[in-house]
Structure 1
Amino acid sequence: MSDWDLSCPDWEDRLRAGRSLMPTLPLWDAEARRAVAIFDRLRIPDVPGEPTFAEAGGEWFREIVAVLFGSLDPATKERMVSELLLLVPKKNAKTTNGAGLMLTALLVNRRPRAEFLLVAPTQKVSDLAFKQVAGMIDLDPDLQKLCHVQEHLKKITFKRTKATLEVKSFSPKVMTGVKPAGILVDELHVIAESEDADRVIGQLRGGMVSQSEAFLAFITTQSERPPKGVFKAELARARAIRDGKSTGRMLPILYEFPPAIALTQKADESEPYPWEDTRLWHMVLPNNGRSITVPRLARDYETAKLAGIEELLRWASQHLNIELGMALRSDRWAGADWWMRRADPVLTLDELLRRSEVVTGGIDGGGLDDLLALAFCGRERITKRWLLWAHAWAHPVVFERRKSIAPELRDFQQQGHLSVVNQVGEDLAQLIGYVKRVNATGLLAKMGLDPMGVGAIVDAMAEIDVKGDRVEGIPQGWQLTGAIKTAERKLADDTLSHGGQPILAWAVGNAKVVPVGNAVTINKQVSGTAKIDPLMAALDAIALMSRDPAPPQQLLTADQLFGGFA
């Protein structure tokens, strides 16, 4: 595998120059040429004149066909490039090219009765994909004779090898137990919304183990929301291979802007985002001049821009592959506009305590199907900046009752920002452990919490000598307006930093603001199933810090203060 380096470290320069993202690889030319010849012969059924891919297809995708099939060793039957992640914006013939790719796989295959799958996220997309494949066969007299099309099953059989290609909608039940020779998963970012997505993708990979020539291809646009679950994991893996930070057999072809362009937070709100410059769009539109053109896309962009920031960013995620760092809805909290810019990745709890002269804490949580959240706000010794850190806990029942957010919660668990506990009370015990450790430093001034249903928390803190006037109920609803506004201003004037924890960004993105007279509220009822507990805990801590607490007497040495915190 030493000659099969799939990295492309100069990808930014290649995109700017409109050059190929394909690394140079030692392909078996005969296999590559055969696959490309079959692909080029196929006709595109939904384009006027029904041209072939040779006439209307893009060279960028022809290269993918060549590598995927030209990496199969004819002697050992081992495919050296066994996976693909193609990240490409909408309107770049993604579904059509994917259909052509899988039909080509069926036709070049030599294994008798091999099974190929094209997995779509929804019934609608699977119908479209099958129509494309069936249409390509219908437009070629030779393929009509060689292929048996069963429309009611969305299944095509190549008569010479009895190999089959089936188009299916994603479903854990449908995917279980299959052992395909080739799989294409369309719109992975949509499939990742399913709680079972990572398990099913794992099963598909497991089913390929017995066939050395098997391949797994993902073709997807960026997500309309911050990436999560299996999509986030596969994209991170592909980027690491592309950048030369990791190795593997996944071919990463990622049409996305460099980080300096792909911003979703602006230093000056009056200025456009860098990616709004239409002169840059060619970089991420490999099919430019065919299925899409920049002028056509620009008209679509103007419509999205008039609809507001939420629709503009959604549009950009789909048509320019802009990755959203957090949700920005029209009724969002004003602090969300500044949140990502105030991230300080080195700000762990240990670092917060090292830099702070005083600390306040906040706790928020509900029943077993809710999150329990803890936040600490520190005031920096010299600069007086405020520093924010949070952690949350969940019971397994949350994943069952809140399936729509389960993929995000699993991500936060893997990142270490969410602890999943199995026993009632275990979450509270761990939370109190954090409070005890911070209290032992002598930095902790007060703990604030929602006054509703906090008896057990108050009792537990009393056992570690955090009691009396050091524990305070923080009024919620409109009475929290002061903390909300304070946080907004300090984020805007860059006097509040946080650790860049994804769980906090998620909670901030979920928060919906409701005006109440001259006040505003952020509450769980309005936010729905999307959790905001970490943000509410942070606002409780901020409410206490707003009162300018005096630095308490520090009780321990420096080594005792700053040792052992995660």
Structure 2
Amino acid sequence: MLADTSTAWSTACQDWPARLLAGRTLVPDLPLFEEEAARALRVFNRLRMPDVIGKPTMLDAGTNWLHPIVAALFGAYDAATNRRMLREVFLLVPKKNSKSSGAAAIMVTVMILNRRPEAEALLIAPTKKIADIAFKQAWGIIQADPELAKLFHPQKHIRTITHRRTGATLEIKAADTDVITGGKATYTFIDETHVFAKKSNAADIFVEIRGALAARPDGFLMQATTQSKEPPAGVFKAELATARKVRDGELNRPLLPVLYELPDALAENDGWKDRANWGLVNPNLGRSVDPEYLADELQKAEEEGAEALALLASQHFNVEIGLRYRTDGWIGGKYWEGAADTSITLAAVIQRCDVAVVGVDGGGLDDLLGLGVIGRCRTTKDWLAWHHAWAHDDVFERRKDIIVNLRDFEQEGTLTVAKSPTQDIDDVCEIIAQLDAAGILAEKWAVGLDQVGIPTMVDALSGIGVAGERVAAVPQGFRLNGAILGAERKLKDGTLWHEGSRMMAWVVGNAKVEQRGSAILITKQAAGRAKIDPLIGLFNAVQLMSRNPEAKRRSPYETRGVRVVG
């Protein structure tokens, strides 16, 4: 990354809501090298779309909204110093807005304009199928122009296109099947970052790509993506957050953020359902995006329920998905985000509460150990919940599909990776000992465990003096129904608060409900490979706090000292 980005090249666009509402470009005014920008636009606009009737040029196909992005990307190149002033572009745009077609056209454009001998260009598609389509699109663009067809050589079996004169190559890879490294690429385009970011080594690949740019100041990294179909996580969450901060003027980076997303007020109040707002985030509405198709899809999604609405909102309107769109999820999830209080810490529970209970769940080596602490506030009598989780290295080896999430939570500080076989149990006992030493751990039913129990946990608790009737076996399955219903009611009526961690939002989002007779079940079997242990820990604690426990009685001399009479 460039260490010295002048104010003139700042890509902050703090008036983006007004621009969006006015239908203006989200690319701010920049001191472009006009000759480079104009040259790139001439090339880009003359390219033909091979999969559209009549094979219109990019100019005639109605991709005008891409012009400011193309102009900024190529117009940021200083031919005198072979340095690109803007090294990255992050484009967030819904499906069907010629994103993939634009990607192929941009990469063909850079292959034509590239000055570096033997340069490597890389287009990363989310799946093998889309990679095949992307290659077909790029090669189709070239074949549509007889002069370009002479200039390039295709190798379809490895999805590679080579410039016959410069030796530069465009290689198209699939994120889900191909081995991807970015160590030598001068130009990289990532299509659907939210899918690519699920690769366990995605963070390392981003480091490689950016490392390559340090040695190739003429290069660039461009990302074009829709919103994630689930709450953003891992690398995608980080990349999106950085782009938003640059857009909002909180960071100054050589990155151009172009984010077609509704302002929060519209997104949170289902403003995306209003047909009048569709064109705000779909810049190609009426061309490659058919408004009647969106209307039909919205009607179907309304009939199918919240999950279908969430998918439609994320993919066609760039609405960031939270907990409230789950249909098979725990109804408490609907109120979870509204019950967040970031002031709640373990220390705050100790300071503010008169009594506390602890729920523990999980603990297998390929599982999480989940902890839920609930304290009863001295003044309001509200319940204050705090959570933590532990994972052994076995989880990372056997549950690769959630590694990205777990690393996020480790960074957040809500998940600890155990460095020894007993660290999780030792840490839980230390937390319980803190509560006991503060005089707020319940005198009876203080710690709730799965009825099957964790033998080593029971032994460890005995070692810190928490034993007998202070340790309760909490029946699971349908017998936990009361705690589940009680928790969701208290979340709704505003008497249960939690720390608002991303880890617990993910866990609550993983919870799936099964109806068994008159009872509802939230089980690990229903959640599948996703993790819900800290939530079950919370339910175990709810079960104990529902018994209206009292703190262990302490001698008055422990708190006020010895009174001398005389």
Match of 2:45, as an amino acid?
Answer: D
Counterpart in 1 of 2:194? 189
Q: How big is each residue's C-alpha offset from its partner over 1:278-320, in whole Å with a ceiling of 9 and x where there is no partner?
A: 2222211111222114333122111122111111111111111
1:140 to 114, 139, 145: 145
Q: Is the Cα contact below 8 Å between 2:363 and 2:454 reproduced in 1?
A: no
The equivalent of 1:169 in structure 2 is 174
CA distance in 2, matches of 1:510, 1:156: 43
Report percent identity of matched pairs.
48
How far does residue 327 in structure 1 lie from its aligned partner after superposition?
Answer: 7.6
Letter aligned with residue 524 of structure 1? K
Once the two structures are TM-superposed, the CA of residue 178 in structure 1 deviates from its matched residue by 4.1
Structure 1 residue 340 corresponds to structure 2 residue 337: yes
Answer whether contact 1:186 1:220 (CA < 8 A) is retained. Answer: yes
In the other structure, the counterpart of 2:266 is 261
Tell me the residue number matched to 2:273: 276
CA contact (8 A) 1:225 1:327 kept: no
- For normalisation by structure 1, the TM-score amounts to 0.94
Q: Distance in 2 between matches of 1:124 and 1:113?
A: 28
Specify every segment of 5 or more residues in structure 1 that has no aligned partner in the other structure, as ranges.
Answer: 264-271, 560-566
Q: Please report how far the alpha carbon of residue 147 of structure 1 lies from its aligned counterpart in structure 2 after TM superposition.
A: 1.7
Aligned to 1:406: 403
Matched, 1:464 2:484: no
| Aligned twin of 2:486 | 486
Please give the secondary structure, in 1, of the residue aligned with 2:117: coil
1:110 equivalent to 2:115? Answer yes
CA shift for structure 1 position 346 = 2.4
Check 1:476–1:188 CA distance in 2 against 1; reply closer, same or farther (3 A cut).
Answer: same
Q: Deviations over 1:205-257 (max 9, x none)?
A: 22332111111111111110111111111111111111111121121111111
Q: 2-side partners of 1:110 and 1:327: how far apart?
A: 50
1:86 matched to which residue of 2? 91
Aligned to 1:232: 237
Distance 1:392 1:438 in 2: 18
Question: Once the two structures are superposed, what CA deviation does each residue of 1:297-354 show, in whole Å capped at 9, x if it has no partner?
Answer: 1221111221111111111111111111238443211211211121222222222333
Query: Contact between 1:359 and 1:444, CA under 8 Å: does it hold in 2?
Result: yes
Provide the secondary structure at the position in 2 that maps to 1:175. Answer: coil
Further displaced range: 407-416 or 253-262: 253-262
**C-alpha separation in 1, matches of 2:47 and 2:486:** 62
Matches of 1:411 and 1:156 in 2, distance apart?
A: 37
Measured after TM superposition, the shift of residue 462 of structure 1 is 2.1
- 1:29–1:412 CA distance, 2 compared to 1 (3 A): same
Mapped contact 2:188–2:221 kept (Cα < 8 A): yes
Aligned twin of 1:40 = 45
Q: Which residue is 1:539 aligned to?
A: 539
Q: Which residue of 2 aligns with 1:374?
A: 371
2:423 to 426, 433, 436: 426
Distance across 2 between alignment mates of 1:425 and 1:471: 19
The within-5 A match list for 1:150-165 is 150-165=155-170
How big is the shift at 1:138?
1.3
* Contact 1:172/1:200 (<8 A) preserved: no
* Aligned mates of 1:540, 1:190 — CA distance in 2: 35
Structure 2 length-normalised TM: 0.94
- List runs of 5+ in structure 2 lacking aligned partners: 560-566
1:172 is displaced (CA, Å) by: 8.6
Contact 1:155/1:164 (<8 A) preserved: yes
How far apart are the structure 1 equivalents of 2:27 and 2:106?
17
Q: Which residue of 1 aligns with 2:392?
A: 395
Q: Indicate how the Cα distance of structure 1 residues 162 and 123 shifts in structure 2: closer, same or farther if over 3 A, else same.
A: same
- Partner in structure 1 of residue 313 of structure 2: 316
RMSD of the TM alignment (CA)?
Answer: 2.0
1:266 is aligned to none
Letter in 2 for 1:61: L
Could you tell me whether the CA contact under 8 Å between 1:441 and 1:555 is conserved in 2?
A: no
Distance in structure 2 (CA, Å) of the matches to 1:525 and 1:483 = 19
